[in-house]
Amino acid sequence: MKTSNKISFSRRSFLQTSALASGGMLVGFNLFTACKEDVKPPVDLSLLDYNDFNAFIKISDEGKVTIFAPNPEIGQGVKTSMPMLIAEELDVAWEDVHVVQGKLDTKNYTRQVAGGSQSLRQGWTPLRQTGATARQMLVNAAAAKWGVSASECKTNKGVITNANGDKLGYGEVVKEAASLEVPEDVTLKDPKDFHIIGQDISNVDIDEIVTGKPLFGLDYKQEGMQYASVLRPPAFGQKLESFDDANARTVNGVNDVIKFGDKIAVLANSTWAAMKGKKALKATWTQDSKAESTAFHDETLLGLLNGDKFDTRRKDGDVIKAFAEADQVLERTYETPFVPHNCMEPMNFFANVTTDKIELVGPIQTPAGTAGQVARMLGRDASEVTLEMTRMGGGFGRRLYGDFALEAAEVSHLAKKPVKVIFSREDDMAAGIYRPAIKYRIAASIKDGKLTGYHLKEAAINGNMYGLIPNFFPAGAIENYQVDTANYKSNITTGAWRAPYTNVLASCEQSFFDEIAEAMGVDRIKLHMDLLENVKRTTDERIQYSPERLQGVIKRVVKESNYGKEKDVYQGFAVYYCHNTHVAEVADIIMDNGVPVVKKVTVAVDCGIVVNPLGAKNQVVGGVIDGIGHSMYGEITFNDGAPQSNNYDSYQLIRMLQTPQVDVHFIENDIAPTGLGEPTLPPVGGAVANAIYKATGKRLTKMPYMNNMDVEPVVG
Amino acid sequence: MPTFQLKINGASHSVEADADTPLLWVLRDNLDLVGTKYGCGIAQCGACTVHMNGNATRSCTTTVANAQGMEITTIEGLSENGDHPVQEAWKDIDVPQCGYCQSGQIMTASAFLENNSSPSREEIRSAMHGNICRCASYNSIEKAVEVAAKKMN
């Protein structure tokens, strides 16, 4: 999809403006969906109710611009990059822009979500239209003042000029502009004229972050607020039988102990008192459903792979026939563990439930869904709920689930007090919504030197690959191709974890392709380039990856990494498409006393136009290192339903000394941008495994790799 | 509850707390100095790092009783205007992603550079190994510590 410059839209579907009594213009705009027709713009800033709109541009008489960023910020950079799109087309200097986190709008908004690497992709056109429309209205106002045609006026960084050399700042015409008709046709800039998009723009919260200002959910407090520490069942499948809170109530600062469901909340004047109170609780638990252990999960998933109860998710040709006729059939089973999200800011949420309103504040990737769940749980109307989004100390998918906000609301409702629920690290890791354990079995057939068949089977806990994943590469490239999935429903809670399913699938498949190339006796790069040729004329709409763009990133990474030619290092290659972005990676490793050390990863990324190269590079590098960390070290096991790690002395996250240098190369083009929060993570485990194979001759098929090599496990 | 006298960022504070209360929670809950973060509570992640008599110290495992009599510096007091060379370097490089661990990273780096003004890459990597960044901004942290060292010389 090329960017289009001329766009028509209905004003009602998109944008409304109003003059502010206090001066300036307010533009309320809708990011992804149409505003309801009955929505009226507020007329006075003092009466401004952010629930009436999704987000706003505010231009003051002095020409300063405030942009309300709508989407939750979890470290993916959208609080910076989304306003950049508006500012670009508004044609103001970035230095004159002030960004403010918008509040939740449950009435008119459908995608105030951080997830799926979709914010920039879906915001690309509407956000630029918003800026361009406001700019055109300012130009129209200036043109009317001068008595000239708007078409002969130009703008540059907040100043309008005409052919006679007259100049007006945006602030000087903002009042007139606000009373004009909203134009229905605006012209978007040619990408070559961008002066903000494509520039390195610092994180808008950088000053607050480096000086320790309150930004995060855990930093939020209100007068009279109780800190709540919650005791939850210690193992999945257990429920509360009885408890004794006598000791807990004697702890200094503890004010109340409240049972809710199978949980017990200790309310106190301070976090420490609440945590101490929780430790002093005595509870007995009973087994309510099966006590599952890791050995059971392994056996169950392998049983599913060995069985014949699958859902077929894509079927091309006849893999069984291809396998029967093959000269050679390869088959591997890949195993991946449960992992927790481990956001550095543990789960927490503030709730103040009173008879006339429900106030929620905290870090959440799904504010609208969570506000709705709270209303339903308490039998209240959704209109009674307000939700303020704080900056988030990481998300990675964990904060898509509002369990902690529901806990806060329920405890506040029962205690009749404002409450902040705070998870300890132990709570956070042991009451997780984990990346599920998944096993894959992949088989391939080779005949007359050609790859003729490919059969992927997935056995997973609680859910299976979703959406278009069964149609990712190599779908479309191989004549006989089939994807089958099977599932075991566990009582262990699982959910989305940065790049769900592909985060392990890509590594497994990219390892397997290394084996296929070896068995065929062909160069790994050539195998991919040739297979992608087969996809070029496809008319299959389920195939959304671009073979040309995948070939582009492959060529680039081969060149930049000097693949296959580097001395003294072992190089592993992987390429993948997910979250609408095309990525190729080469990992360079050395062996240090039998331990693989990843020294460098070269990455080529095609995400279309790079909106903010500084932030984009951070996402790419972070995704790669996160992917290495979790494929090398990440694993949580269960014994009779109880998680066997609960803090960083028993769970290894990647740290500085295990971190390679990541060398990032973006493909330059004018294609509309796609997301970067997830897509660089999935393939890197494959690149590392392929490099380790070159170094050791051993194919790693079980994550985390370090636990499945003959080396000492690392913690800390 | 007993009362403790703490010297934080050059000012004296009198706080009431149980003697076993970690300095971290006194800073955050009693004194509203929330720049110091909670990450693990067992001195494994470094998010709670402060300076005590100039040394990088984990405030989550330092009791308020043991913090008495020490010169304590938190991220809020590292510089008056957010312009300590390490903070400036963090801005130059645009280190933070989610930003949660960064005050701990900055406090570790600033104490380290006081004792080693021209560190090697390996020394920087070893010094910063105790601070977890879940967003994995490690490449940027490494570079920012180098930039900060140059600014301090």
Measured between CB atoms, which of A216, A271, A622 is closest to B136? A622
d(CA A123, CA A126): 6
At A116 the pLDDT is 64
Q: Which helix (H) or strand (E) holds A244?
A: strand A238-244
Pair type for strands A154-156 and A159-161 = antiparallel
Q: Which helix (H) or strand (E) holds A140?
A: helix A119-146
> Can you give the three-state secondary structure of A636-669, one letter per residue?
ECEECCEECCCCCCCCCCCCHHHCCEEEEEECCC
Tokens found for residue A605: 């990324």
CB-CB neighbours of A712 under 10 Å: 10
Nearest of A626, A701, A635, A291 to residue A434 by alpha carbon: A635
Tokens found for residue A65: 């611009």
At A525 the pLDDT is 98
Low pLDDT (below 70) residues in chain B? none
> Which ipTM score applies to this complex?
0.98
Pairwise CB contact (< 8 Å): B97 & A211: no
d(CA A349, CA A346): 10
Torsion sign over Cα A503, A506, A512, A517: negative
Is A186 in contact with A136 (CB distance < 8 Å)?
yes
Exposure class string for A503-540: b at 16+ Cβ within 10 A, else e: bbbbbbbbbbbbbbbeebeeebbebbbebbeebeeeee
Nearest of B11, B150, B133, B153 to residue B80 by alpha carbon: B11
d(CA A581, CA A553): 10
Pairwise CB contact (< 8 Å): A394 & B103: no
List, as ranges, residues 209-238 from A with C-beta within 8 Å of B.
209-216, 218-219, 221, 227
The beta-strand segments (E) located in A512-580 are 570-578
Instruction: Return the SS3 of A483.
Output: strand
At A310 the pLDDT is 98
What are the chain B neighbours of A345 within 8 Å (beta carbons)?
37, 98, 100
Instruction: Return the SS3 of B103.
Output: helix
Measured between CB atoms, which of A272, A391, A661 is closest to B99? A391
d(CA A88, CA A167): 20
d(CA A705, CA A702): 6
Whether the CB of A716 is below 8 Å from some CB of chain B: the reply is yes
User: How does pLDDT run across A458-484, given as a tens digit for each residue?
Assistant: 999 999 999 999 999 999 999 999 999
Q: What are the beta bridge partners of residue A702?
A: A335
- Helix crossing, B138-152 with A613-632: angle to 10°? 120
What are the chain B neighbours of A344 within 8 Å (beta carbons)?
37, 39, 45, 47, 98, 100-101, 132-134
Tokens found for residue A498: 């940065």
Chain B nearest-CA distance from A655, in A, is: 6
Tokens found for residue B38: 């909670």
Tokens found for residue A683: 């393939």
What are the chain B neighbours of A618 within 8 Å (beta carbons)?
94, 97, 135, 137, 140
Low pLDDT (below 50) residues in chain A? 1-23, 29-55, 108-110
Nearest of A361, A342, A412, A274 to residue B29 by alpha carbon: A274
d(CA A339, CA A435): 5
At A98 the pLDDT is 86
User: How does pLDDT run across A513-558, given as a tens digit for each residue?
Assistant: 999 999 999 999 999 999 999 999 899 999 999 999 999 999 999 9
d(CA A297, CA A17): 57
Amino acid letter, residue B31: L
| pTM (two decimals) | 0.92
